[in-house]
Amino acid sequence: MTTAPDTPPRARRGPIAPWFTTTVGTLTSIAVTMLGLLFVTFFIGRVMPIDPVLAIVGERASQSTYDQVYRQLGLDQPLIVQFAYYIWDVVRGDFGVSTLNARPVLEDIARVFPATLELATLGVIVGVVFGIPLGVASAVKQGTWIDHLARVVGLVGYSMPIFWLGMMGLLVFYGILGWVGGPGRLGIFYQGIVPDRTGMILVDSALAGEWEILGNAFSHIVLPASLLGYFSMAYISRMTRSFMLEQLSAEYVTTARVKGLSEWAVVWGHAFRNIRVQLITVIALSYANLLEGSVLTEIIFAWPGIGSYITTALLAADMNAVLGGTVVIGLVFICLNIFSDLLYRVFDPRAK
């Protein structure tokens, strides 16, 4: 009696297969997103009612000079060819030359972006430190005066124009009380003393051991960072409250309380632990919004960041600077999304 040959066991996928698939999918998503971002910025640069040639040569230039610059910029080529050149330039880190100061746009962005990064980082720290406890307390004490106070604070944060709060803050805390520094990053007396290593005044003054300059820089940044942190806190506290209410109504929380666990252990050890992954996305989005949405704050406080840089470039019809800054901000969004995905895998083993 013959027996059928044994069927060879199905080969198991090695540990590299899911890692490779995830990596390829992530890189593809990044490439498609960047391509879409570059297309949008390129399209905006072409539909804006601004002549880049006139912005360079001026209105009194001769027609021959205009035509020469027109060809040098590649504007005589078909749009698809211009778009291909634009992608190639961006990949090489070439965003063109600013018509305002004749410097490469990438150098200008590298000079102004650390100021925005410093301001937004302190702002999101303020938002997280105060927003998460406020949201948790609001959910735990639902319907009490704490809950109503937290909701009013969040509503004011969403409703009040930041430029009005900024001007009132300068009037009260700088003009009347003198508790904080005025507009700008440093007092005039302290400028140019600390070596520029990172572009962030607080970090550079601490590395140089200039504690007096550090205090002056902090007095200038504390008010705009607090305003940005207040708006971030309003968003973070509202989302934290929503997430916590969902968790506190779950059966496992009731079971934990029946077992006699303390309220602290139930709230922070069980309920809050299950919303950490959701809060990662909320904090990342809040951080990205502060990095790209602090234009009015930077203008009011004369803060030399990327927001005021793009605004000044737009008013001067410097489209290379505007598009370069837009691409950099888009890259920041993409990087923060990737970073939040990586944190998912740290805090949620199911995502591995």
73-106 per-residue burial string, b: 16 or more CB within 10 A, e: under 16: eeeeeeeeebbeebeeebeeeebbbbbbeeebbb
Phi, psi at 262, each rounded to 5°: -70, 160
Distance CA 18, CA 2 (A): 41
Helix (H) or strand (E) holding 63: helix 63-72
Residue 11 has pLDDT above 80, yes or no: no
| Report for 96-100, 123-127, 144-148: range of highest mean pLDDT | 123-127
Q: Are residues 319 and 261 in the same domain?
A: yes
CA–CA distances in Å: residue 220 to residues 20, 186, 190, 216, 303:
47, 7, 12, 7, 10
Distance CA 269, CA 291 (A): 32
Distance CA 46, CA 79 (A): 9
Residue 106 has pLDDT above 50, yes or no: yes
Tokens of residue 126, six digits = 């303020």
Q: Are residues 54 and 142 in the same domain?
A: no
Q: Higher confidence at residue 285 or residue 15?
A: 285
Q: Are residues 127 and 251 in the same domain?
A: yes
Residue 26 has pLDDT above 90, yes or no: no
Position 308 confidence tier, pLDDT thresholds 50, 70, 90: confident
Question: How confident is the prediction for the chain on average, in pLDDT?
Answer: 82
- Residues 221 and 185 sit within 8 Å (Cβ to Cβ): yes
The share of the chain scoring above pLDDT 70, in percent, equals: 89
Q: Are residues 124 and 163 in the same domain?
A: yes
How deeply is 259 buried, as exposed, middle or buried, from its count of CB atoms within 10 A (0-12, 13-18, 19+)? exposed
Domain-ending residue, one of 43, 76, 91: 91
Q: Are residues 40 and 163 in the same domain?
A: no
Q: Is 267 left (phi over 0), alpha (psi -120 to 50) or beta?
A: alpha
Q: Are residues 232 and 337 in the same domain?
A: yes
Half-sphere exposure of 231 (CA within 13 A, CB side): 25
**Structure letter (DSSP) for residue 4:** P
* 258 falls within a domain: yes
Q: What is the structure's pLDDT at 349?
A: 61
CA–CA distances in Å: residue 346 to residues 40, 155, 280, 340, 352:
34, 33, 11, 10, 8
* 3 falls within a domain: no
* 159 falls within a domain: yes
Q: Are residues 166 and 231 in the same domain?
A: yes
Residue 2 has pLDDT above 60, yes or no: no
Q: What is the structure's pLDDT at 129?
A: 93
Residue 162's CATH number: 1.10.3720.10
pTM of the model: 0.81
Q: What is the structure's pLDDT at 348?
A: 64
Q: Are residues 250 and 138 in the same domain?
A: yes
* 113 falls within a domain: no
* 2 falls within a domain: no
Residue 198 has pLDDT above 80, yes or no: yes
- Residues 216 and 187 sit within 8 Å (Cβ to Cβ): yes
Q: Which among 230, 237, 236 has a CA at the least distance from the CA of 169?
A: 230
CA–CA distances in Å: residue 278 to residues 26, 336, 345:
20, 14, 12
Q: Are residues 276 and 157 in the same domain?
A: yes
The whole domain housing 75 covers: 26-91
Q: Are residues 225 and 334 in the same domain?
A: yes
The 10s digit of each residue's pLDDT in 263-281 is 888 888 888 888 888 888 8
* 207 falls within a domain: no
Instruction: Please compute the mean of the pLDDT values over residues 258-267 and round it to a whole number.
Output: 83
CA–CA distances in Å: residue 308 to residues 75, 203, 296, 301:
28, 22, 8, 10
Q: Are residues 235 and 283 in the same domain?
A: yes
Residue 345 has pLDDT above 50, yes or no: yes
Distance CA 56, CA 313 (A): 13
**Structure letter (DSSP) for residue 97:** B
Q: Are residues 322 and 246 in the same domain?
A: yes
Residue 187 has pLDDT above 50, yes or no: yes
Number of domains in the chain: 2
